[in-house]
Amino acid sequence: MAKQTHVPLLLDLFRQFGYDGVTLSKISEATGLGKASLYHYFPGGKDEMVETVLVALEQGLEQIISDALSCKGDALTRLQTMGDRINQAYNGGHKPCLLAALSLGSAKAVFQERVQRLLQRWIKAIATILIEAGMAEELAHQRGEDGVIAIQGALILAQGLNNPSPFQRVIQQLPSQLCQGL
């Protein structure tokens, strides 16, 4: 069984329990692998598991960004494409965000730079779409931040309320809000 086979399970575990809450016992139970097998696939332990998950998450985010940046249409259409892909990635708001989970506890010190780069890349992608549509660079960057804030906040609210409606509403409304004034 390849290391990559376990990435979706690991992603779900770290999303659900955070870095500090995921134990080797939970990982072993979810993957069906004993601790020795886990260390065979991930000699670096939990840190390597998270790094592997982050690589997959980064590739997924890059694909979402690439789709939005390369699709035809105006800024609204491109941001709707990004929103559709984000909606799929978070299963309509049913899945929590790994980046938020890795921003807390002992994981913050280990993964902060990586999380920061991913968030900055996401902000830059939104800003790029808005700049290409004619928005001033500073305002576009602020809107990019606002977009990520809205999505992340909606994910937290959806998880806290056990109701994906706020996330779905944000995904629906956000492209128009970001494009306001264009």
| Predicted pLDDT of residue 67 | 87
CB within 8 Å of 1: residues ≥ 6 apart: none
| Predicted pLDDT of residue 2 | 59
Counting as low any pLDDT under 70, the low residues of the chain are 1-3
Give the torsion sign (CA, 149, 150, 154, 157). positive
Range of the structural domain that residue 161 is part of: 3-179
Give the torsion sign (CA, 79, 63, 84, 91). negative
| Predicted pLDDT of residue 85 | 94
CATH of the domain at 72: 1.10.357.10
CA-based end-to-end distance of the chain: 51
| Predicted pLDDT of residue 153 | 95
Give how many domains the chain has, as a whole number: 1
Query: Whole-model pTM?
Result: 0.88
